[in-house]
Structure formats: structure tokens, C-alpha cells
């Protein structure tokens, strides 16, 4: 009797397992767009926003696609005047009005100046305009040899107004807010190149390297605002031909200030995998003489090693005390990477005292007190 009961129990468990497996298989064959069980061909698509793989039926695969996520749209979508579609989810995140786009760009400019205040500032001679998909298409129907992508989200062009250089930044309407910010930061970086990189260097600088630098600035802005999807979106974009990854590596190893030096005075036209240390090979011109003698470029390989330990190098006392740690300046609560050996570490300045500071190593979470060296 006991053996028969055990047999029935095993049969019951097997039946439950098979039934549960059948339910899972059935659930897995539900179309992500219409919600119905898929009969026939199953199409696998990737949500370009989340990176998630979804299943789509043969009917929904024929529907228009959302210009943001790339998935078919069926209900509660928006059709823009230029022919683009936005699914119900992504329509909630986009910026459509010109005034809102201009306001966002103004905020991005302020954010960039704060983020990189120790290194540089970004040009103010920039005028923001908006474009739609019709404008973009017209740019690529002129028979020219533009290297821009017809899927571009923004562009910037220099011009002259009253004998002064001004940049016209054009941004696509209907971008998600985070993507709009990253794109705006990218275009501001092109303006920075135009204002700061000498013409001789710019002529030698590879186009994909300039794009990689601009993507780095956008990536760092996304990182500072905890926009993880924005960072992933930058890394998925392959039009820099791998330069973005090398610029990220270079910035993490040597710091943003050396990236700027390389952009302005670097010897190589682009960064090469396995040779990111070439970032430190620059040609910095000396100052002109009093007589105005043209500067002669001198090759300098900035190969001096970074400090092996985290050191407090100085304290600037005043209304807002600042500490110099491994060549980087910190105010209280500032978060910054400092060079350490062959890499960089992220630290936060917790407190500045008359002869010491208290910091936190973000990677380990450990706190440490640094003191000024004895006189």
C-alpha cells in the first residue's frame, strides 16, 4: 500500500512538471506587442532601449516601428509630423518642444562646466536650433559625400556673425531626455575642439578620434548623472570605430586633463588598442617670445609615473578651502578620480582641516586621513 502510494505520488509530480513546462513554453510564445499566443513563425527582436530580447508574431512584425526602441507599435502610440512613430512607453520620455530642447541644452552647458571646472570650460558662442527627420533626410539627398550618419541625432557647424565665430547646434526633436543631454554634450564638445584645438593639430586629428572624444564627454556626463542606460547607449554606438572605448580607458588611466592635452597637442592622429600610453606623447608649443617669434613645437613624452600612494600635497585655505591630492583639487564633498600608479581611483573629499583632510576611497569604501608633509 505504501509502495503504491509512493508510485502515485511520483506520477502526480511528473504530471505537474509536464504541465508547468507546458505553461512556461506557452508563456514564452506570447507576442510582446499584441499579447496573444504566437501561432506560426516567431520573430525575435531587441528592444534598443533596454537591450531585452522579445518575441513578436507574424502580424505585429508588419507594423510601423518605434523610432526609439525599434519595436513595432500597435496601441496608444504617437505619430510625429515627420513620419516617426513613438510607442506608448517611449513617448513619455521624449522632448518635443523647441523651447524645452533649448532649456535642456542650457542646463547641459552648466552641467559640463561644473563637471569639468578643474580642466576647461565649454564655448558660449553656440546657438541651438531643432530639426526633424525631414530635415535630416534633406541633408543626405544632396549628393554630397557627408560622413555623417543619416540616423544622426544632432550636428554642429561653425559660422561667422559680425566677424565672430558662432556655432549652430541642430538637435533632433523627439529624443528621450537623457539621450538629448548626451547628444547636446557631444555637440558642445565639437565646439570645444573648434575653439581649443590648433588648426595644425586638427588637420592631423582623425575624424573618428574627434568623435570618440565627444562621445567620452557625453559618457562622462551620463556617468555623473547615474544614467546607466545612457552609458550603455554610448557604448553600443560603433561609429567611432572603437575610439570611445579607448578614450574611456585613457581617461581612467591618466585623467581627463591629459586627454585634453592629447586632443590639443598629441602626436598620433588616433588612439590605438594596446598603446593608450601614447596619449602622453604630446607636442606642446612654448610661449612666444616678447618679439613675437613663432613658437616651435617640442616633442614631450609625459612618461613621469603617477604617484604610488594617495598624498595630500597642499591646502588652500579661504571661504571654501580646497585640498590638492595627487595633483587634483578638491572642495568638501567633491568626487574625483586621482592618478595612482598605472590607474586612477575614485575618492571623495569628506572634510578639510588646517593640516589634514579626510577622504573616502569609493571603490573600497574605506575612509582615510591624509596629513600635510612636515615642513
Evaluate whether residue 354 is within a structural domain.
yes
Assess whether pLDDT exceeds 60 at residue 287: no
**Does the residue 80 lie in any domain?**
no
- 99 vs 171: CA distance, rounded Å: 12
Q: Clarify whether residues 71 and 115 are in a common domain.
A: no
Residues 6+ apart with CB under 8 A from 59: 34
pLDDT score, position 141: 65
Flag whether 17 is in a domain: no
Q: Using the structure block, give the residue that is written with the C-alpha cell 557604448.
A: 235
R_g (Cα) of the chain, nearest Å: 27
Confidence at residue 206, expressed as pLDDT on a 0 to 100 scale? 95
Minimal CA–CA distance to 175: which of 282, 238, 250, 98? Answer: 98
Give residue-wise pLDDT tens across range 49-84: 888 999 999 999 999 999 999 999 999 999 999 999
Q: What is the dihedral of CA 263, 269, 275, 281, to 10 degrees?
A: -60
Which helix (H) or strand (E) segment holds residue 116: the answer is none
Residue 296: pLDDT above 80? no
Is the per-residue pLDDT at 301 higher than 60?
no
Q: So what's the pLDDT on residue 368?
A: 94
- Residue in the structure block whose three cell numbers are 570645444: 192
**pLDDT at site 288:** 53
- Kindly report, residue by residue over 230-265, the tens digit of the pLDDT: 999 999 888 788 999 999 999 988 899 999 999 999
108-123 residue pLDDT tens:
999 999 999 889 999 9
pLDDT of 11 reads: 44
Do 353 and 217 share a structural domain?
no
In a domain, 286, yes or no: no
What confidence score (pLDDT) does residue 295 get? 43
Number of other residues whose CB lies within 10 A of the CB of residue 259: 21
Q: Is residue 276 part of a domain?
A: no
Q: Are residues 118 and 36 in the same domain?
A: no
**Residue where a domain stops, chosen among 266, 296, 326:** 266
Average pLDDT over residues 295-311: 62
Q: How many domains does the chain have?
A: 3
Determine the longest span between alpha carbons in the chain, in angstroms: 112
Tell whether the model's pLDDT for residue 140 goes beyond 90.
no
Q: Are 77 and 70 in contact (CB under 8 A)?
A: no
Same domain, 254 and 329: no
Residues 255 and 125 in one domain: yes
Q: Are residues 53 and 115 in the same domain?
A: no
Q: Is residue 86 part of a domain?
A: no
Residues 6+ apart with CB under 8 A from 292: none
Q: Are residues 56 and 112 in the same domain?
A: no
What is the crossing angle of helices 256-265 and 177-196, to 10°? 50
Query: Considering 266, 294, 325, which residue would you say is the last residue of a domain?
Result: 266
CA distance 266 to 278: 8
Examine the domain organization and report whether 59 and 193 are in the same domain.
Answer: no
Q: Are residues 69 and 122 in the same domain?
A: no
Distance CA 243, CA 347 (A): 27
Residues above pLDDT 90, as percent of the chain = 60
Positive/negative CA dihedral, 218, 232, 223, 268? negative
Identify whether residues 68 and 100 lie together within a single domain: no
Please say if the pLDDT value at position 364 is more than 80.
yes
Write down the pLDDT at residue 239.
78
Out of 266, 290, 321, pick the residue that ends a domain. Answer: 266
DSSP assignment string, 141-160: SS-----S-TT-SEEEEEEE
| 266-280 mean pLDDT | 93
Q: Is residue 279 part of a domain?
A: no
pLDDT tens-digit series, residues 81-110: 999 999 999 999 999 999 999 999 999 999
How far is C-alpha 187 from the geometric centre of its chain's CA atoms? 12
Q: Looking up cell 588611466, which residue turns up?
A: 253
Task: Output the CA–CA distances (angstroms, integers) from residue 362 to 165, 309, 310, 334, in the order listed.
Answer: 42, 15, 13, 12
* Residue 24 clears pLDDT 50, i.e. is over it: no
CA-CA distance, 289 to 268, in Å (whole number)? 28
Q: Do 170 and 122 reside in the same domain of the chain?
A: yes
Residue 67: give the domain boundaries.
24-75
d(CA 341, CA 308): 5
Q: Is residue 184 one of the residues assigned to a domain? A: yes
- How confident is the model at residue 210, as a pLDDT? 97
pLDDT, mean of residues 133-137: 87
pLDDT, the chain, mean: 85
Residues 69 and 101 in one domain: no
Banded pLDDT at 302 (limits 50, 70, 90): low
Share of the chain above pLDDT 70, in %: 83
Amino acid at each position: 500500500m505504501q509502495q503504491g502510494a509512493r508510485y502515485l505520488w511520483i506520477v502526480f509530480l511528473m504530471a505537474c512538471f509536464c504541465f508547468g513546462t507546458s505553461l512556461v513554453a506557452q508563456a514564452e510564445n506570447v507576442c510582446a506587442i499584441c499579447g496573444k499566443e504566437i501561432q506560426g513563425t516567431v520573430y525575435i527582436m531587441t528592444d534598443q532601449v533596454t537591450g531585452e530580447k522579445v518575441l513578436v508574431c507574424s502580424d505585429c512584425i508588419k507594423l510601423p516601428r518605434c523610432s526609439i526602441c525599434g519595436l513595432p507599435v500597435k496601441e496608444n502610440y504617437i505619430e510625429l509630423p515627420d513620419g516617426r512613430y513613438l510607442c506608448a512607453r517611449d513617448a513619455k520620455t521624449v522632448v518635443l518642444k523647441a523651447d524645452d530642447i533649448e532649456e535642456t541644452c542650457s542646463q547641459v552647458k552648466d552641467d559640463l562646466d561644473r563637471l569639468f571646472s578643474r580642466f576647461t570650460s565649454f564655448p558660449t558662442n553656440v546657438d541651438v536650433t531643432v530639426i526633424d527627420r525631414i530635415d535630416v533626410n534633406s541633408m543626405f539627398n544632396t549628393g554630397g559625400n557627408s560622413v555623417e550618419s543619416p540616423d544622426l541625432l544632432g550636428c554642429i557647424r561653425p559660422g561667422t556673425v559680425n566677424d565672430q565665430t558662432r556655432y549652430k547646434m541642430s538637435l533632433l526633436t523627439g529624443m528621450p531626455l537623457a539621450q538629448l543631454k548626451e547628444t547636446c554634450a557631444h555637440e558642445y564638445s565639437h565646439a570645444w575642439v573648434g575653439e581649443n584645438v590648433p588648426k595644425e593639430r586638427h588637420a592631423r586629428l582623425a575624424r573618428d578620434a574627434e568623435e570618440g572624444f565627444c562621445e567620452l564627454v557625453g559618457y562622462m556626463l551620463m556617468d555623473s548623472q547615474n544614467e546607466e542606460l545612457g552609458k550603455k547607449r554610448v557604448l553600443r554606438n560603433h561609429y567611432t570605430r572603437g575610439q570611445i572605448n579607448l578614450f574611456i580607458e585613457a581617461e581612467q588611466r591618466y585623467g581627463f586633463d591629459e586627454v585634453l592635452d592629447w586632443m590639443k597637442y598629441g602626436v598620433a592622429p588616433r588612439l590605438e588598442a594596446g598603446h593608450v600610453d601614447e596619449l602622453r606623447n604630446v607636442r606642446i608649443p612654448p610661449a612666444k617670445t616678447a618679439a613675437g617669434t613663432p613658437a616651435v613645437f617640442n616633442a614631450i613624452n609625459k612618461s613621469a609615473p603617477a604617484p604610488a600612494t594617495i598624498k595630500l600635497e597642499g591646502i588652500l585655505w579661504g571661504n571654501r578651502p580646497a585640498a590638492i591630492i595627487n595633483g587634483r583639487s578638491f572642495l568638501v564633498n567633491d568626487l574625483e578620480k586621482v592618478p595612482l600608479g598605472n590607474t586612477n581611483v575614485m575618492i571623495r573629499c569628506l572634510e578639510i582641516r588646517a593640516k589634514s583632510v579626510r577622504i573616502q576611497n569609493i571603490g573600497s569604501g574605506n575612509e582615510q586621513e591624509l596629513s600635510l608633509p612636515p615642513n
